[in-house]
Amino acid sequence: MAEFVGFGGGEASAVDGQLHHLFLEQRVSWPYSRRRAALEALFAERQLSGSLALCPSTTDPDEAREWLNWTAAGLEGLCFKRLGEPYLPGRRAWRKYKVRETTEALVGAITGTVASPTTLLPGRYDQRGHLHYTGHTTVLRPGIAREVAGHLSAGRRPHPWQGRTFTAGWGSRETLEVVLVQPDIVLEIAADVARDAAGRWRHPVRAHRIRTDVGVEDVPLLGEREQDAGTL
């Protein structure tokens, strides 16, 4: 069974999560097919709508593939669940298939050192020329870390991000120790399509390579939709 996995407002997601938790408390031992049928009946009986939405579900592979074209409508990916499996708290029994896009961003800060960066903090300009923090990368592989280090230079004052703090991830309170760098390096990344209200990628992006053939002015602005086709 494949389920549409989407993203939206934090309030709706929180309410939906609470309903899901309460609903599961009495039905964790049921197989997924029975839990799903009961949940659909609950939505129909109470006529739930508005901030609550029941994600589409299918056993048809062709329909699931078609959903992968729905990124503009908020599709983040697919979640695969076994029809006869009970809910297993604390275990990774489901499989996720996330839609990713290849795009570019500027490197505005790093963790580690200029000579040996560990992760990168990409950013994008808005239409007014302000550089916005848009997320962070996964830990760099040795090869890409060496490539990036060969192009980094310490950020000149005043840096657009001077004085601000950065967290370790979406929803995290852990503060990163960063080094500001000159935001003139164009980085090709692979990112999933889930973003927060500020336009930041909710999950760490993967650094692919430095794009010396792409100018700073060619990087998509904050909020612009990428033209490259998404990959998985």
* DSSP secondary structure string for all residues of 74-130: TEEEEEE--TTPPP-TTS--SEEEE-EEEEEEEEEEEEE-SSSEEEEEEEEE-TTS-
pLDDT score recorded for residue 226: 54
The mean of the pLDDT values for the chain is 82
Residues with Cβ within 8 Å of residue 90, at least 6 apart in sequence? none
Residues 61 and 123 in one domain: no
First to last CA, the chain: 19
Select from 98, 121, 153 the last residue of a domain.
98
pLDDT higher at 24 or 80: 80
Burial class (CB in 10 A: 0-12, 13-18, 19+), 232: exposed
Residues 119 and 93 in one domain: no
> Would you say 84 and 93 are in contact if contact means Cβ atoms under 8 Å apart?
no
Select from 98, 129, 154 the last residue of a domain.
98
pLDDT score recorded for residue 8: 45
Segment 45-71 mean pLDDT: 80
Segment 113-124 mean pLDDT: 97
Of 95-104, 110-119, 130-139, the least confident: 95-104
pLDDT score recorded for residue 14: 42
Residue whose C-alpha is closest to residue 103's, from 192, 204, 168, 202: 192
| pLDDT reading at 203 higher than 50 | yes
- What is the maximum span of the chain, computed from C-alpha positions, in angstroms? 62
Distance of alpha carbon 96 from the chain centroid: 13
| pLDDT reading at 44 higher than 90 | no
pLDDT category of residue 175 using cuts at 50, 70 and 90: confident
Using a pLDDT cut of 90, give the percent of the chain over it: 39
Residues 82 and 145 in one domain: no
Residues 15 and 84 in one domain: yes
Distance, CA of 87 to CA of 172 (rounded, Å) = 27
Whether this prediction's pTM lies above 0.75 is answered by no
47: its two tokens = 């006529």
pLDDT higher at 15 or 103: 103
Which structural domain range is residue 33 located in? Answer: 2-98
Select from 98, 126, 142 the last residue of a domain.
98
Q: Mean pLDDT highest for which of 7-11, 13-17, 92-96, 158-162?
A: 158-162
